[in-house]
Amino acid sequence: MAANASCELRMDQLPSDPLFHVLSFLGFRDLIHCSFVSRRLNDLSKQNHLWRRQCSEHWLLDDSDRLQSGVSWYCLFKRFYSDLGRYIQYYPALKRSWDQLKVFLQQRCPRMISSLKEGATEVELSDIEAQIGCRLPEDYRCSYRIHNGQKLVIPGLMGSMSLSNHYRSEVLLDVETSAGGFQQRKGMRRCLPLTFCFHTGLSQYMALEPAEGRRMYESFYPCPDQTAQDPSAIDMFITGSSFFEWFTLYVHNVVTGEYPIIRDQIFRYEHEKGCVETTGDISVSVSTSFLPELSSVHPPHFFFTYRIRIEMSSSASPEASCQLDSRYWKITTSDGNVEEVQGPGVVGEFPVMTPGKVHEYASCTTFSTPTEFMEGHYTFHRLANKEEVFHVAIPRFHMTCPPFREPLVRTQKAAASYSSRYDDHEDDGEICDGDGDDFGDLRGINMAALEGPWCPRHI
């Protein structure tokens, strides 16, 4: 036993090189714990190269940042931790998303860069919490420490949509403006707006507490139930389970090109992978978008827009040039109904396709089911020989509205048969108590669009 005890080797007695190698695998908390073990470990655990990695991993700092600070990596880490340490689990991913977004905007949408606001302070965020009487989620606070949203200008950072006479562009609200729109009325209690559109009054909201059937911190578009006797019956189109998911997924779609850039604006069209069909020299691809401001759960009315890109290969022969004559659609809804539609041209146009030519157009359609798909073909004729007529396939593309949740109480008659499309168990939320709040001026709802005539189908 004594011989074995004399052979024991303490970690801090290792030579410096292997000990540094061991320490390089530790996180910042373990490095700090090691500094209390012995004087030697205290000295070694504060070496610059160990904290350079920690600064890069947690604060995304590089050599130029340290040189500008004029302090060691260890002191630089402590400086950032004293300011942002409470957000360390969110900060790297959110900061990286913001940095990627700004680089992208500088190249593709430069007007938006000047609309971004500097980060809010801890004091400002805490004052907002005191003002609204609710705690802001840590991921939301972290993002707003980096950038306090956007100035109230157009175009909006959170995406645009333009179709016929309908236009929207959503601004990412600064925290002060969000607090001014904080909801305490029946049907929307304890909800904070995240975005706002001047043209439609549209907002996405975040639930700060699990009230009225909502889950804490999920984001959503509110949608009034037009069939309910109680005007505070609010359906919800769910857009995210947390601010972190909502924001980072949006940025990912922007910077990876998932969302197209049209006239310096971000359009939230989504392209289904594999949704491309090539017939001869012509390729057709489709992207789609759901418009919550023109949709309704009750009555069921789901509004979609789709954008089609028709492209002729640049290597095609000039003799292959052709003109579109007509379109054919086969539309299948989730309840099994099938409809076939034919018509001349596309949205009133008869595009001519030549080698390298690209023609894009947008159209819209509405359904009474939340999921459906379309497919079909175009009919073309050759310019050199009008008798040569052929079909170009349009790939099948699906249109699916976001998950939605119905209110816990729709009417007294319907309350007993309530069911949720979002999950199959009830949330632990408050039930509307019939306090008679007025719904007419609820922020974030485009009442004119929802109460007026529906946009006709343009297929």
Helices 138-146 and 243-255, packing angle to 10 deg: 50
Q: Which residues of 408-424 are buried (b: 16+ CB within 10 A; e: fewer)?
A: bbbeeebeeeeebeeee
Q: What region, left, alpha or beta, does residue 171 occupy, with left being phi > 0 and alpha being psi -120 to 50 degrees? A: beta
Q: Any idea which fold 270-400 has? A: Immunoglobulin-like (2.60.40)
Residues of the chain with CATH 2.60.40.1470: 270-400
Q: What region, left, alpha or beta, does residue 67 occupy, with left being phi > 0 and alpha being psi -120 to 50 degrees? A: alpha
Residue type, 215: R
* Architecture of the domain delimited by 8-87: Up-down Bundle (1.20)
Report which of 253, 263, 247, 237 is spatially closest to residue 162, judged by C-alpha positions: 263
Contact call for residues 286 and 398 (beta carbons, < 8 A): no
Torsion, Cα of 383, 385, 388, 389 (10° steps): 30
**What six digits make up the tokens of 281?**
């020299």
The average confidence (pLDDT) of the chain is 86
Residues in the chain: 459
Query: H/E element holding 339?
Result: strand 338-344
Residue 6: per-residue pLDDT: 54
Q: What percent of the chain has pLDDT over 90?
A: 69
pLDDT for 430 beyond 50: no
Residue 444: per-residue pLDDT: 31
Beta bridge partners of 329: 341, 376
Q: Domain 95-251+407-451 is classified in which CATH homologous superfamily?
A: SMI1/KNR4-like (3.40.1580.10)
What residues contact residue 70 under an 8 Å CB cut-off, 6+ apart? none
SS3 content of the chain, % helix, strand, coil (to 5): 30, 30, 40
Residues of the chain with CATH 3.40.1580.10: 95-251+407-451
Residue 38: per-residue pLDDT: 79
Helices 122-132 and 138-146, packing angle to 10 deg: 130
Cα radius of gyration (the chain): 28
Torsion 163-166-171-172 (CA) sign: negative
- Higher-scoring residue by pLDDT: 260, 12: 260
Mean pLDDT (whole number) for 16-32: 78
- On whether the pTM is more than 0.75, the answer is yes
How does pLDDT run across 93-122, given as a tens digit for each residue? 999 999 999 999 999 999 999 999 999 999
Residue 339: per-residue pLDDT: 94
d(Cα 125, Cα 178) in Å, to the nearest integer? 12
Mean pLDDT (whole number) for 305-323: 96
d(Cα 202, Cα 449) in Å, to the nearest integer? 10
**What six digits make up the tokens of 371?**
């999921």
Give, rounded to a whole angstrom, the gap between the first and last alpha carbons of the chain. Answer: 87
Residue 143: per-residue pLDDT: 98
d(Cα 182, Cα 161) in Å, to the nearest integer? 25
| Residue matched to tokens 């610059």 | 48
Mean pLDDT (whole number) for 159-169: 90
Between 28-42, 268-282, 367-381, the lowest mean confidence (pLDDT) is in 28-42
Mean pLDDT (whole number) for 177-197: 95
Residues of the chain with CATH 1.20.1280.50: 8-87
Residue 12: per-residue pLDDT: 62
The three-class DSSP label of residue 304 is strand
pLDDT for 382 beyond 90: yes
Residue 9: per-residue pLDDT: 58
